Structure 1
Amino acid sequence: MLLLQSNRGRKRKGARIKAQMENRKRAIQRKLEEKNKPPKKWVPPNLRIEKSNIGVTSRRYNEDLLLDLPPDDVYHCEGFKQIAYSLAEAIKFHQETHHPTMYNEPNAVVDAFVELNLRTKKKTKFLSAFTGMLMMPHEFDFKQSRRLVVICKKPEDQEKALNLGASIVGSNDVIKQLKSKNLTSIDFDHILCHSDMLIELAEVRGILKEHFPNKLKGNYGTDIEALMKKFTNSIEYKCVRDDFEPDFGTISVPFGRLNCKEEHLLENLVAVLQKIEGHQPKDAPGEFITRVLIKSKPSSEEFRIRHWDLLENYEDPYAVESENDSNEEMNELRQ
C-alpha cells in the first residue's frame, strides 16, 4: 500500500531559506538600534512619576497660570488670582457667614491652612513629613483626644497624672509591658517620662523608636503636672506631603474661634507660623511658607491672607512685582 503526504501550502525550500535570512537581518538591525540608543537618564525615585499619576493637576497655587483680577465687583473666582486680605478682614468675612441668621455658628473654630515649600539644599532631596505641638499664647476651647502613657516613680506624681487624664500610669511595670510588647504604639499617642526614669526606659529605646522621649519633643522632665498640662492643652499639627509633588506640603492648624478677640487670634496665628517656619532646614532655597488660607467650618469658603506681613524675612510678592514693572517702564523710556 502506498501512502502519499500532501505538501499543499508549503513553501519551497528556497523561499524558506530566504525568509530565515530576512529574519536574521531584522534581528541584527534591532540589536544595532538598541546598542546605538542614547542611555536612559537616571531619575531619583522620589521624582519618578507613576503612570497612574499622569494627567493629575498640581494642587500648588501658581499665580503665573491665573488671570489678573477683573474690574467687576462680582465675578466667578475660578481661574483668577486670589486677593490677599489681612487676618482681620478674613475673620470678618467668616463672622458674616457664621451669623445666627446663616450658619448659626458664631463661635466656630478657625483654621489656618498653610502651604509649604519642602525643598532642601539638595535638588533631589525634600523635607520629610513632620509633626509638632504648640501651646497657644491665648488658649481657646478646643480639645484634641490624646492617649498618654506616664512613667514616674513617686505615687503622688502618678496620682496627679491620673487626675489630669493619663491613660496608663506606672514605672517599671509599664517598661516591662513595653519590653514584652503587651503595650505597643497602637495603644498610646505619646509617652511622658519623669527624668529619674529615663535610664530604665532606655532599655526599650529600640522598641519605642520615635516615641522615645527627647528634648525636642519636650516629653520628659521633673514636673509631671506641667508635662500633662502641656500635652493635654497644646495643639498638635502634622505636615502632609503631596504624593505627586514631593516638594509640596500642607498643614492645617486650629488657632482660635470666631468669637475670640482679634488681637488674640493674631498672636496665636503668628505663633503657629513661627513654629512651622522653625521646621525649615538650614540653607534651604526660597521661602518655606508659600500661602496661608483662613478656613472655618461648616463654610467651604477660604480666604488668603498676607502672611508676609506677619513673618520676618518674607517679601511682599506684589511689591516686588510692581518694582520690577516700574523698572521696566523706566528702561523703556530711556530707550
Structure 2
Amino acid sequence: MMALSSVLTAKMPNLFRSVFIQPSIQMTCQRMLSLSSIDFAARKGTREKARKKKVKVEVKKLDFASRRYGSAKKSNKKRVDRHISDELKPNRPPPHVEVYARRFFKRQVHTIEEAVNSMKETHHPTMFNAPDALVNIFIELNIETTKKNRYMDNFFRTALLPHPFQISEDRRILVFCKDLDLQKKVITAGATVAGGTEIIKDIQSGQLKLVDFDYILAHSQILTDIIPLRGLMKKRFPSEKIGTLGHNIEELVTQFRGGVQYKSQKDEQQKNFSKIVTPIGKLGMEVSHLEANIDKLLIDVNEMRPNKPGLFITKCYLTSPPGTEKLRINPFNYIREPESSTSENKKTKSVRVDVDSDSDDEIEKVEAEAAGNV
C-alpha cells in the first residue's frame, strides 16, 4: 500500500497532489478566505464615529436686533402712548417763575403771535442770526380707520397757501394759454413753459414730456383744445376742482410756485401714529399772513380725515430751525373738533410697547405720572 501511494505521488501532477493528498491544508485555506470578515470585525469606537457623522447639526438663528433701537431687550421697554392727552398731567397751579421743570406742568398752548414773537427773539442777530428763517409746522395725526387694525396709508398733497413765500426747491410748471401777451406774463410769474396749440403737437409727437413738469395749468379758453391729451395727463388733467384751471392763470402760477408740498410719515413702532412736517412761511412775514397759511394748511390736511369718530389731527407745534424748541398751538381754532373726541381723550390713559424714541413729550409724560403718584 505504501508502495502504491509513492508511485501515484510521483506520477500525478501538482494540482491533483494538493487536492487528494493534502485535503486538511486546503480546507484551512478556504476557511480563512471566506470567514475573514467575521474574525476581523470593526471595533466599537469606529461604529460610533460613523453614527455621529450621520446626525444633522441644528443651527439656531439669532433674532435680528436693529442698530437704531439698540438690542432686542432695550426695544421692549414700555413707554407712554403718543396720543395720550396732555390734560392727564397732575393739576398744579401755573408756576410763578419763568424757569421751571416743564415735565411737572401741562405744556403751554401759545397763540400764533406769541409763538412767532418767541422765535424772533431766539433768531435775533445776537443769537442765531436768522431773522428770515423758515417756520415749520409739526402736525400729529391719528390714522386709525373704522376697521379694526387697519390704518391709513401715507399721502402726499400740495396746499395752495394764500400768502406764498420763496422756497429753495425748483418747481417746473407747464401752462396752456392762447394769448401771446399772457404767455409772456406767465413766464415772468415763474412758469417754465407756456404756449398754445403748438405745445399740444409737441406733446403728442413726444418732443415734450409731461413727466418733466411738476404742475400742469391751463386757461379756461384752451380747455377744449387740450381734451386729446386727457389720456396722457390722466389725474393731472387741469380742472377747477383741483385748482389748476381758471381765468386768472397768472395768479395760479404764483400760487403753485409758492405752494407747499407735504407728506404724512407713519411711525415704525406705533401704527396709529403719523406726522407731517412742512414749512408754512418765514419769520420775516407778517403774523396775520402766517396765521392765514396755517389755517389753509390745517383745513387741507383735515380733508384727508377718515370717516371715523374721534380726532384726526391731535397736536400741532411750530418750530423754526436752527432752533429746536417746539411751541404748541391749538389746531381747533381753525378746524372743527369732533364732539365725541373730548370725552374719549380723558379716558385713554394707557401704556404701549415699542414707541418711537423721537417724541419730546415721552420722558415728560412718564416722569409726570411718577410725580403724580408721589
- Please tell me whether the aligned partners of residues 126 and 246 of structure 1 are also in contact (alpha carbons under 8 angstroms): no
Distance in 2, Cα, partners of 1:223 & 1:88 = 32
- 2:84 is aligned, of 63, 67, 73, to 63
Query: Which residue of 155, 158, 169 corresponds with 2:180?
Result: 155
In the TM superposition, what is the alpha-carbon distance from 1:51 to its structure 2 partner?
8.9
**Equivalent position to 2:158, from 129, 132, 153:** 132
CA 1:274–1:196 in structure 2 vs 1: closer, same or farther (change >3 Å)? same
Q: How far apart are the structure 2 equivalents of 1:150 and 1:279?
A: 28
Of residues 218, 242, 249, the one that matches 1:224 is 249
CA distance in 2, matches of 1:88, 1:318: 29
Residues 159-238 of structure 1 correspond to what in structure 2 (within 5 A)?
Answer: 159-232=184-257, 234-238=258-262
1:240 aligns with 2:261: no
Equivalent pair of 2:161/2:297 in contact (CA under 8 Å)? no
Q: Residue deviations 1:102-128, cap 9 Å, x none?
A: 112233332221122233334425254
Whole-angstrom CA distance in 1 between matches of 2:290 and 2:188: 30
Within 1, Cα distance between the matches of 2:224 and 2:286? 45
Counterpart contact for 2:125–2:131, Cα < 8 Å: yes
Structure 2 unaligned spans of 5+: 1-28, 52-63, 348-374
Q: Is the 8 A contact 1:119 1:126 kept in 2?
A: yes
Residue segments in structure 1 that go unaligned for 5+ positions in a row? 17-49, 323-335
> Which residue of structure 2 aligns with residue 36 of structure 1?
none
Distance 1:7 1:201, change over 3 A: farther
What are the within-5 Å matches in structure 2 for residues 249-268 of structure 1?
249-268=274-293
Q: Please report the RMSD computed on the Cα atoms of aligned residues, expressed in angstroms.
A: 4.3
Secondary structure of 2:108's counterpart equals coil
The TM-score, its normalising length taken from structure 2, stands at 0.61
* Counterpart check, 1:86 vs 2:95: no
Deviation at 1:294, TM superposition (A): 0.5
2:299–2:334 CA contact under 8 A, matched in 1:
no
Larger radius of gyration: 2
Aligned partner (choices 143, 146, 149) of residue 171 of structure 2 = 146
Once the two structures are overlaid, the 10-residue window that deviates more, 296-305 or 111-120, is 111-120
Amino acid at match of 1:301: E
Would you say how many aligned residue pairs link Structure 1 and Structure 2? 285
Assess, with a 3 A threshold, how the Cα gap between structure 1 residues 114 and 181 changes in structure 2: closer, same or farther: farther
Identity level (%): 31
Structure 2 equivalent of residue 23 of structure 1: none
User: Per-residue deviation at 1:190?
Assistant: 0.5
Deviation at 1:195, TM superposition (A): 3.0
After TM superposition, give the deviation of residue 192 of structure 1 in Å. 1.0
Task: Tell whether the 8 Å contact from 1:67 to 1:80 is kept in structure 2 after alignment.
Answer: yes
SS of residue in 2 equivalent to 1:207: helix
Cα deviation digits, residues 211-269 of structure 1 (max 9, x gap):
2223332112234323323323x422312231625543332343333344444433332
What is the CA–CA distance in structure 1 between the aligned matches of 2:160 and 2:313, rounded to whole Å?
A: 17
SS at match of 1:63: coil
Return the match for 2:145 from 120, 139, 152: 120
Q: Does 1:285 align with 2:280?
A: no
| Alpha-carbon distance in structure 1 between the residues aligned to 2:234 and 2:296 | 29
Displacement after TM superposition at 1:191 (Å): 0.8
Give, in whole Å, the separation in 1 of the partners of 2:260 and 2:76. 30
Quickly say closer, same or farther: Cα 1:240–1:313, change in 2 above 3 A.
closer
| Partner Cα distance (1:83, 1:319) in 2 | 21
Say which SS state the counterpart of residue 284 (structure 1) adopts: coil
1:84–1:306 contact (8 Å) kept in structure 2: yes
2:326 aligned partner: 302
Moved more, 310-319 or 116-125: 310-319
Contact 2:159 2:296 in 1 (8 A): no
Equivalent pair of 1:119/1:127 in contact (CA under 8 Å): no
Matched residue type, 2:209: T
Contact 1:140 1:257 in 2 (8 A): no
Distance 1:262 1:150, change over 3 A: closer
After superposition, the Cα gap between the structure-2 partners of 1:143 and 1:213, relative to the gap in structure 1 and judged at 3 Å, is: same
What's the CA shift string for 1:90-110, capped at 9, x where partnerless?
223212211221112233332
